Amino acid sequence: MAMVIGKTIHLHRTSREEFEKDSRWLKHELCHVRQFREHGLIQFIIKYLYESFRHGYRNNKYELEANAAERLE
């Protein structure tokens, strides 16, 4: 599991090495880092929570964007 806050990717129950070997997972979390940079810390958290409450976690537009980033070359 990983969670991004600002420019930091926080890992839980996984090693850095395991995380870095999984290119799809890395791309997903780096997309969230970019989203934080674009919107700012507080604004992004508010927007992310709003999207999650309104559409659910899986249909949250920020998660959909990060999921799409996993497939980019």
Tens digits of residue pLDDT in 9-56: 999 999 999 999 999 999 999 999 999 999 999 999 999 999 999 999
Q: 3: alpha, beta or left, given left = phi > 0 and alpha = psi -120 to 50?
A: beta
- Residue 68 — pLDDT band, cuts 50, 70, 90? very high
At 56 the pLDDT is 97
The tokens describing 25, both together, are: 């997972």
Q: Give the largest CA-CA distance in the chain.
A: 35
Beta strand ranges found along 6-73 (DSSP E)? 8-11
At 73 the pLDDT is 79
Query: 31 near 69, Cβ under 8 Å?
Result: yes
At 13 the pLDDT is 95
Residue type for position 2: A
pTM of the model: 0.91
